Amino acid sequence: MNLTGNTILITGGSSGIGLQLCKKLTEQNNKVIICSRSEDKLKLLKKEIPKLEIFSCDISKETHRNELAEWVKTNHKGLNILINNAALVHTINFFEDSSAFEKAESEFQTNVLAPIHLIKLLFPLLLNNKNPAIVNITTGLVYAPKALYPFYCATKAALHSFTQTLRFNIQKNNYNIEIIEVLFPAVDTPFHKGKAPGIAISVEEAVDETLAGIHSGKPEIRIAGVKRLYFLSRLAPKFILKKINLIV
């Protein structure tokens, strides 16, 4: 896949992996568009990276997704790459947290329904342009979930499954568009709220490996330790599930 001369939309691009993707991709592409709930963060990033196009919205809300899609169709007709990066996570004890269901709803809206809806809304536009691709960001925890993140793991497993079926449907219908999934290990980002585990890799390493995988044409890119986790989850699923839930 060619990573130059594109028009790219990245959801959740104001921090962490999304922000690092923005910084790297603005170097050799026509336009990089980011959306985030924080308009203040977006404006600061626009000052830092003038080439960025910004749009403030909450993609967990259907009306905001519709507004984003219409704005893109009107102002950025050359869009050819969608990167579904935005995600929400809650660390909870399911049985003791009185707001567990509300947190589940918000995570499923942001992590699963939002990317599915945006793909549906923007697919005709993507398909109409050269070098089209959809990139869904998930996690190695789809292979062995962590109990502290009950909804996050479930949502990413759902997006992992959807991405696989989407790829088959693309092939069945002979659409010329790449469907890519990137599965991350623990990465030292604001996701961990300053308490990243010792096994976490840097955001720079994570994004560099991601872009190398995309450039090489891999449809499923397992970053760093996810490669090992993938094989261990098949060889010894009970062992690796226990191991994941002992890691601090």
CATH code of residue 49: 3.40.50.720
140 close to 222: Cβ distance less than 8 angstroms: yes
Question: Which position has the higher pLDDT, 247 or 55?
Answer: 55
Is residue 190's pLDDT more than 70?
A: no
Residue owning tokens 């991405």:
163
Read off the pTM: 0.95
Does residue 1 sit within a domain?
no
Enzyme catalytic residues = 152
Question: Which position has the higher pLDDT, 195 or 155?
Answer: 155
Instruction: Give mean pLDDT, residues 190-206.
Output: 79
Does residue 111 sit within a domain?
yes
- Residue 163 phi, psi (nearest 5): -65, -40
Give me the chain's average pLDDT, please.
94
- Residue 81 phi, psi (nearest 5): -135, 130
Does residue 233 sit within a domain?
yes
Does residue 91 sit within a domain?
yes
pLDDT of residue 14: 86
Q: Which domain holds residue 119?
A: 7-244
Instruction: Give mean pLDDT, residues 88-104.
Output: 96
Is residue 131's pLDDT more than 90?
A: yes
Distance in angstroms (rounded) separating the CA atoms of residues 157 and 159 = 5
Amino acid letter, residue 10: I
Does residue 114 sit within a domain?
yes
Is residue 199's pLDDT more than 90?
A: no
Is residue 236's pLDDT more than 70?
A: yes
Is residue 193's pLDDT more than 90?
A: no
When divided into structural domains, the chain yields a total of: 1
Instruction: Give mean pLDDT, residues 67-84.
Output: 98
pLDDT of residue 196: 66
Instruction: Give mean pLDDT, residues 84-99.
Output: 96
Is residue 164's pLDDT more than 80?
A: yes
Percent of the chain with pLDDT over 90: 90
List C-alpha distances in Å: 37 to 18, 32, 59, 88, 132. 13, 17, 8, 12, 26
Does residue 237 sit within a domain?
yes
Q: Output the six-digit token pair for 127.
A: 């398909």
Does residue 2 sit within a domain?
no
Does residue 218 sit within a domain?
yes
Cβ-based neighbour number of residue 44 at 10 Å: 13
pLDDT of residue 13: 84
Burial of 162 (0-12, 13-18, 19+ CB in 10 A): middle
pLDDT of residue 1: 85
